[in-house]
Structure 1
Amino acid sequence: MPSISVLLSTVNENANVFRMKLNYSEPKIYTGGVDVNRWSSLTKKEQQQALDKDWFVYFSFRDPKTGRLKKRPQIKGGANRLKTKKERLTFLKIIQRNLLILLEAGFNPYKDNSDLEEDFLNGRLLNGKRSTSNTKTVEKAHLITEKSKAPKEKESVQNNMVSIKEAFGIALETKKQVLNQNSFSKYRSRINAFKKAMSELYSENDSITSITKKDVIGYLNETLTRTSARNRNNVRTDLSSFFQALEDNELIENNFIKKINILKAVPKRNKSYTPQIQKDITDYLEKNDTLLLLFVQFVCYNLLRPIEVCRLKIGDLDLNDRKIYVKAKNSPVKIKIIPEIMLAQIPDLTKKNKEHYLFTPYGLGGEWKVADNDKRNYFTKRFKKVKDHLGLGIDYGLYSFRHTFISKLYREFVKATTPFDAKTKLMLITGHTSMDALDKYLRNIDAALPEDYSNLLK
């Protein structure tokens, strides 16, 4: 009777999926008593302790005498001569896959499997059924069957052959065409971090379909432990977008990330400034950093986001027509007016190069060839000196000025008109694309406050 090790080595790489039996358990891999999905979070000592143990494939088969599933001998196949987790896991996954093919083909450790071995060796096994015809006849029948399948099924077979390396390259290139530089930079960073984590489990030449929902859940759980629920949800969103790109390009059957739940996360936002804090900040900046003061005024009076101020070039300001052309978050370019209060703060820019950025570390107007995020981070750090001087915590930032002045505008508008009319006017200034979006924003920053209701409590 041929041993299971001999049979495993003869399984055809292109064998089809066979009909599932109920007299065996699904083969599993023992990985030294640790969860390999959390491998990168283990200490070097814990990783080595796991590698010092034997790794193997194990399964159970129904005993014909008792009718119960009984564990079979462990299958190591020389895996423990391999020194790294990646090598061992890749090797054992091949054994696991081939063992499952054998079991589905009818392998029974309590019977003679000589015929099964011969069928695999001679290529006479097709769709789990033995054929008495010669190999060429079987191959011809298999070819005819493949040609008669629906186009979608043929594409599915082809797609399963796309490697992890190829799939990541295709999906990233697709997203690069539709995301702006700032968004794509964040997206690529998260996807590459995920790819690195998957390289601990799979070879880059493995099929993209090797990555399972369980693998992704393990990665998200590790992200949650290391960071926060909010960041975990953001990673999930990017992974869902990534796998959707794979589905759209027919590299996978479906985007299973959609079925992974979103965790409840408390949103963080910058607090609005009180009138006294605004005065203290202005007084400090007038004496110590007039460039940063002008930066803040663009946020306050033009209600720009800090990153939008960083994108401004000299040529984006038309001071004669009192217009400013802004590359906004939700559109290529938005045109806004420059209010008189802001116009009075802007110095003469006529001698500046229109292609130069308005704000640079060295002053107004100049070349500054770094990413938008890095520009924003620079001014955020520069503003931290002001916060440290005034003893302001992490809840305050440059974005707080936008919240503060939008709230101020809304409360002034609503004094003379209805809330709906006030928000209609405000939308033209803030650049929100819908009333619902503006409503949500105003609720988040507590812009709408009730009148004093003391008389109702007497």
Structure 2
Amino acid sequence: MGSFFNILQTAHRNAQKSILKRKYTEPVLYHGGPTFNLKARWYLYYKYEHPTLKDKHGNPLMVRQPNITMSINRYYKTKAERLQQFGVVKEVLSEMLKEGCSPYQERLNLGSKSMEYTSEAALDYAYSLKVAGLSETSIPDYRSRLNRFKKYLGTKNLLKKSILGISKQTVNEYLNEIAKASSARNRNNTRIVLSSLFGELEHNEIIPKNFVEDIKVSDTNSIRYQTYPLEVLEGLFEYMKENDPLLLLFIKFVSYNFLRPIEVCRLKVKDVSLTHKQIYFKAKNKLLKTKIIPDIVIKEIKHLDFSIQNNFLFTPNGVGPWDTKETYRRGYFTDRFKKLKEKYNKHLVEKGETLQLGGEYTIYSFRHTFITLLFRKFRKEYAYTETCDRLMLITGHSTLDALKSYLKDIDAELPEDYSGLLTLDI
């Protein structure tokens, strides 16, 4: 009996030593939680000792490996089937790991195609995938926010370590620092960029889940662009007609075609068809959209030089070439209007008027103003739903819900005088 237990103790000690030397953790099955949720994505996960990365103590870093699904979720729809299939895969994987198979053996021979990424390499890879679908205005914003995040990771000693070392808490703490240093809006915009990048990493199975999308959006004080009173609008248009007719034409594209300023800046001669009275432009959420050009605008542009197709419709001097980024083109006209507004305010003072146009009155405000004007004229003749249907064709909103939300934000519809309802019958 003593000999038997001596052998057992020796075997136990050897087994413990083997566990201590083990370069991996036993595979674990995630099965959708306590309820075995079949709508969730089931997978096997485990960690393996990285051949080069070290922790802060200099020990080999245990890195979580890509989730293993083997398409089982797609083909097996019951709890029993999935448990059986994942059980088989788990058993085979455990045996392979015991026999010394390493998930890095193949990867180390792949060089630049390695599936294991440091935080820096993974984020740069995600950006390289994302940048192809970004607009010219979004690329600098993404690059800037990514670089600042990478700098932050560097201060936390996470940049050169596995991307799996970045947690939801890491990103949350970074976003909170942004909110404290600047604003909730800046924090939310950074969250959007990081969520987009981590989404690419999840899609390419570099990380198991894009946890950034689960981080709450902070409440912000929305920027409110004030609509122009009609009596102010008439005087302002007259002032621009005398002092800056080119800027007035730019604003008429915003006002009468309901374009955003950046969309007007993108317009080239080839995007305008006087024959069909149409313009073709890149919008906010679509590659290309078409709108009619109302006669009120046709009369303003039919005398322009349309001979060179690649000329921009708006430059500092009118139709012509302009070799600069669209964000700078938009910024130019924004600044040009700001300067004109300052002169107009002085003009109002000289006339003895007290009204002053502050920062809430922008070029974008003209779009709000004329959509409101059009909505209220339609409402005199049509029901709310029909009004929205007709207006949607003109404004270019992609969905009816988007238009209704927009109309609510700009207070397009106001109630009639309700004084009669407030009288007290005493």
Alignment TM-score > 0.5, same fold: yes
**Residue 259 of structure 2: which of 295, 300, 304 is its match?**
304
**Residue 408 of structure 1: which of 373, 376, 386 is its match?**
373
Residue 182 of structure 1: CA displacement?
A: 2.0
Separation in structure 2 between the aligned mates of residue 312 and residue 177 of structure 1, nearest angstrom: 22
Separation in structure 1 between the aligned mates of residue 96 and residue 221 of structure 2, nearest angstrom: 60
Counterpart of 2:360 in 1: which secondary structure?
A: coil
Q: How big is each residue's C-alpha offset from its partner over 1:330-364, in whole Å with a ceiling of 9 and x where there is no partner?
A: 22221111111111222513453111101012x22
**Residue in 1 that maps onto 2:240:** 285
**Residue 371 of structure 1: which of 318, 325, 330 is its match?**
325
1:217 and 2:179 correspond: no
**Residue in 1 that maps onto 2:309:** 354
Counterpart contact for 1:284–1:386, Cα < 8 Å? no
Letter in 1 for 2:255: C
**Residue in 2 that maps onto 1:435:** 400
**Residue in 1 that maps onto 2:140:** 185
Counterpart of 1:364 in 2: which secondary structure?
A: coil
**Any unmatched runs of 5+ in structure 2?**
1-19, 28-52, 63-94, 107-112, 346-355
Residue 408 of structure 1: CA displacement?
A: 0.3
Separation in structure 2 between the aligned mates of residue 342 and residue 14 of structure 1, nearest angstrom: 75
Q: How big is each residue's C-alpha offset from its partner over 1:357-396, in whole Å with a ceiling of 9 and x where there is no partner?
A: 01012x2221112222221111111111122232422211
Cα distance change on mapping 1:14 and 1:183 into 2, 3 Å = farther
Counterpart of 2:314 in 1: which secondary structure?
A: strand
Q: How big is each residue's C-alpha offset from its partner over 1:306-330, in whole Å with a ceiling of 9 and x where there is no partner?
A: 0110000012111122111122112
Separation in structure 2 between the aligned mates of residue 273 and residue 288 of structure 1, nearest angstrom: 19
**Residue in 2 that maps onto 1:425:** 390
Query: Which sits farther off after the overlay, 407-416 or 281-290?
Result: 281-290
1:206 and 2:168 correspond: no
Residue 452 of structure 1: CA displacement?
A: 1.6
Separation in structure 1 between the aligned mates of residue 177 and residue 114 of structure 2, nearest angstrom: 29
Residue 217 of structure 1: CA displacement?
A: 1.6
**Any unmatched runs of 5+ in structure 1?**
1-11, 20-90, 102-139, 152-157
Letter in 1 for 2:371: I
**Residue in 2 that maps onto 1:94:** 56
Separation in structure 1 between the aligned mates of residue 132 and residue 97 of structure 2, nearest angstrom: 40
Separation in structure 2 between the aligned mates of residue 196 and residue 255 of structure 1, nearest angstrom: 21
**Residue 381 of structure 1: which of 310, 335, 339 is its match?**
335
Counterpart contact for 1:159–1:250, Cα < 8 Å? no
Give matches, 1:6-405, under 5 Å.
Answer: 15-16=23-24, 93-95=55-57, 98=59, 142=97, 144=99, 146=101, 161-202=116-157, 204-350=159-305, 352-361=307-316, 363-389=317-343, 390=345, 391-405=356-370
Separation in structure 2 between the aligned mates of residue 143 and residue 160 of structure 1, nearest angstrom: 22
Letter in 2 for 1:378: Y
Counterpart of 1:345 in 2: which secondary structure?
A: helix
Counterpart contact for 1:358–1:364, Cα < 8 Å? yes
Separation in structure 2 between the aligned mates of residue 211 and residue 144 of structure 1, nearest angstrom: 31
Counterpart contact for 2:227–2:368, Cα < 8 Å? yes
Separation in structure 2 between the aligned mates of residue 443 and residue 371 of structure 1, nearest angstrom: 33
Separation in structure 2 between the aligned mates of residue 162 and residue 334 of structure 1, nearest angstrom: 40
Letter in 2 for 1:406: I
What is the aligned-residue RMSD (CA, Å)?
3.1
Counterpart contact for 2:262–2:330, Cα < 8 Å? yes
Counterpart contact for 2:118–2:163, Cα < 8 Å? yes
Letter in 2 for 1:396: Y
Q: How big is each residue's C-alpha offset from its partner over 1:136-172, in whole Å with a ceiling of 9 and x where there is no partner?
A: xxxx975636479xx9xxxxxx988312232122101
Cα distance change on mapping 1:160 and 1:217 into 2, 3 Å = farther
Separation in structure 2 between the aligned mates of residue 100 and residue 185 of structure 1, nearest angstrom: 34
Counterpart contact for 2:118–2:159, Cα < 8 Å? yes
Separation in structure 1 between the aligned mates of residue 275 and residue 268 of structure 2, nearest angstrom: 16
Counterpart contact for 1:159–1:251, Cα < 8 Å? no
Counterpart contact for 1:298–1:304, Cα < 8 Å? yes
Separation in structure 1 between the aligned mates of residue 210 and residue 305 of structure 2, nearest angstrom: 54
Counterpart of 2:206 in 1: which secondary structure?
A: coil
Residue 92 of structure 1: CA displacement?
A: 10
Residue 289 of structure 1: CA displacement?
A: 1.1
Separation in structure 1 between the aligned mates of residue 384 and residue 358 of structure 2, nearest angstrom: 32
Cα distance change on mapping 1:403 and 1:14 into 2, 3 Å = farther
Counterpart of 1:94 in 2: which secondary structure?
A: coil
Residue 183 of structure 1: CA displacement?
A: 2.4
**Residue in 1 that maps onto 2:409:** 444
Query: Which sits farther off after the overlay, 287-296 or 402-411?
Result: 287-296
Separation in structure 2 between the aligned mates of residue 141 and residue 253 of structure 1, nearest angstrom: 22
Counterpart of 1:325 in 2: which secondary structure?
A: strand
Separation in structure 2 between the aligned mates of residue 147 and residue 406 of structure 1, nearest angstrom: 63
Counterpart contact for 2:24–2:97, Cα < 8 Å? no
Counterpart of 1:242 in 2: which secondary structure?
A: helix
Cα distance change on mapping 1:92 and 1:351 into 2, 3 Å = closer
Residue 181 of structure 1: CA displacement?
A: 2.4
Instruction: Return the TM-score normalized by structure 1.
Output: 0.66
Separation in structure 2 between the aligned mates of residue 196 and residue 366 of structure 1, nearest angstrom: 41
